[in-house]
Chain A
Amino acid sequence: KAGVTQTPRYLIKTRGQQVTLSCSPISGHRSVSWYQQTPGQGLQFLFEYFSETQRNKGNFPGRFSGRQFSNSRSEMNVSTLELGDSALYLCASSPGRRPSLSAYEQYFGPGTRLTVT
């Protein structure tokens, strides 16, 4: 079974531009979570999508947004880029769940390394 894929793998943008990152989850997985990883803050949760709906959101400004398509692929967008947005952006997929007692592990993609100059 193919793993989580992310495109592009590397990206260089300038301040003020916007960027769109893409994530294709493992086949059959319906939940996609996005994380930002920086040396100072570690891994921080951005948001989660399930069946095209954002179900959870972390503490990031509104410049960070996302969406999910009917095939579970997800995109995240960052508008008006700032130098501090330079980071590794990771997405993770899991089978997802309706409200239930079950827990599911998350599997990470290779990430997109974004550099803002």
Chain B
Amino acid sequence: NAGVTQTPKFRVLKTGQSMTLLCAQDMNHEYMYWYRQDPGMGLRLIHYSVGEGTTAKGEVPDGYNVSRLKKQNFLLGLESAAPSQTSVYFCASSPGTMTYEQYFGPGTRLTVT
């Protein structure tokens, strides 16, 4: 049981490049989330999903897109990377509305130059 995994662990992009971050969970959780963490800002929710095929915007969705084609996977896309998107990205999952605990992946460190 790997829990929540994220790919890649590190990435350096140039401004304007695109990339996709992959999150996978093997706990059969309904809910999945993408956060970014910046110094002094805490974790901020980018997008989330309450089930396969559904996504919704969080607090800071601009510049990102997401897809949840399979229950176990949640993809975060950056179409045209900007230096302001330099951050640590965490994926998380939770069972659903009756259990609030979120389980986090190890994070992806992204630098945009």
Q: Tell whether A pairs with B.
A: no
